[in-house]
Structure 1
Amino acid sequence: MVLLTFLLILVLQCEVGLSETEHILYLTPGNDVVMPCDNVPDTCSRIIWAYSRSESQTIIMVDNGIVEKNSAQAARLSLHSNCSLSINNITAEDAGLYSCRPEGDDDQDTNVYLNILTISAFPSDADPKKDGNVTLECSLFRYYTTSPCNSMRWVDETGSVLLDRGVKNTGRTCVSLLTVKLQSGNKKRYTCQFEDNNTVKIEAHYTPVLIDRSFLNCIMWALRFAGLTIMIVIMVLVIRHKGRKKPPEDINVHYVGDRDEDTVNYENVRNRTADPELD
């Protein structure tokens, strides 16, 4: 009898444990995500979606199947017919815990942990035409928790592990810094990976955009030569135009007689001499 009671308690505990489900998602900014709701009721009008960055901050995003318009993410949210929640064009600020709960069923939650991995370069205004050092920052945004950051590492395009400056845990964010030297013509790619239980869950890439200075110099010389050629052509055209333009001669039209009105005589004023018969 005691054994039967023990087994019954164990079965009930397992059923309660299975009533709440969890999903852990890893994404990079700019993607779209669909978060499942496992314990779907007959209609989504009984569904509530809540969002939490920490245990003390919870926001209702979907209430009774309707997206809350006051939510900062409202324009990017949509509820599917199966009660799953979509977020378009995710950002680092979307990281956190999302809970789907049928109204009145506190033990039927579906918890989705959304983790966002980002890479930033500092200084962000580094001149792409110059070589120099740049610090890469890889950040994993997640639900605030005291759990460790597990493993973050940097690798190059060959897969070789690079020496970083360690991983810092700020609670909601795991941060890893890597300082690299950028060189023109050196097409390197740096990848930040996040591992859990020796499995890469997510990775993000950074490829420097550098301008080859030798190629840039060729372009500059070509532009200078083209500009000089255009100036020379313009000067030649101006000189030719001035050479063709001559001052007009002063032509005087003199009508001879009164009877024949159609007869005219053209004389050059410069060569005209006094003629008493015409006066």
Structure 2
Amino acid sequence: MAEFRLTEISLFLILQLHFTAVHSATSFASLRVSEGDVVTLPCDSPPEHCAHKTWLFSRNSKEMTLVVGGKIVQTRFARAKAARLIFTKHCSLVMTNVTAEDAGQYVCKQAGSLHRMPMYATIALSVEKSLPFFYARRGAEVSLPCGVVNAHQDQCIRTNWLFSRHLWDPRPELVSTGKTAHAKSGRASVADDCSLVIKNISHLDAGRYFCQEDASPVLEAGAHLTVVHMIESMGDSKTEFSCWVSTSRQCTLMVFWRHADGSWKDVPGFSGMHGVPCSSTVMFANGQVNKEKLKCEVTDASGKVQTFDFIPKSSGSGR
């Protein structure tokens, strides 16, 4: 009888451990984006598993099914959101033109079986007010306005600047409190109007900057900073000029080289151009290019164009 009781207890413990294991096959992440952004909600799996995936969205105790069996749901309630969704071959969910109503919890679920535990990936998505965009070339200086009403009236004593390089950063980095800078290796300072000034910009400075008052938990002012890089590479017979951007967002920018004289077919020595998303390279025969006439254009989704001379006409912000 004692042996039977011991076996019964052991079996109970095994079942309990199995139950715990089944419900511990989860992952959790948080993402912070701005209105109008494009965001990828990860649920990385082999393509053959995607037919068994379900994506759920919950907000204010209401739940909506977005994806079932690898297909985006087109019900009357989900149709408006479905038009902005893309279900990728690795089971992730891409959402375009994010709005404040998209904030909430997203769950990627794979059904379990007798020999396989169910899998859950949970993402908490927070959506902030749209931030203005600033562009600066590497090595330049940029000034990011605070935007908090009356922040400068107390000499910025209660004003903090925070920095987030990636959308999934769980906690922004503290750049400054008041007029005291804590990061950026001495390259950051706070101006009298509470703007954040960053000198000698590098790709590591690309990201989102938030200006916050001590008394407010809300990060509602600041800017996106995109850093533009341009380099020259000389080969045996050709010289290449490359332009690309660093950004904290999923890059939707178009990068293209222009020549001050107009059409490339009329430019002496021009031998071709190629590009990938957010990058462009133009090629010339060695010794046959006037660098002062090369311009890199960066175009955002709204069609607004920022132009950067390969050889800057003056130092300062590359806006």
Range of TM-score over shorter length = 0.3 to 0.5
Max Rg structure: 1
Give the alignment's TM-score, normalised by structure 2: 0.37
Q: Which has the higher strand share?
A: 2
Please give the TM-score of this superposition, normalised by the length of structure 1: 0.42
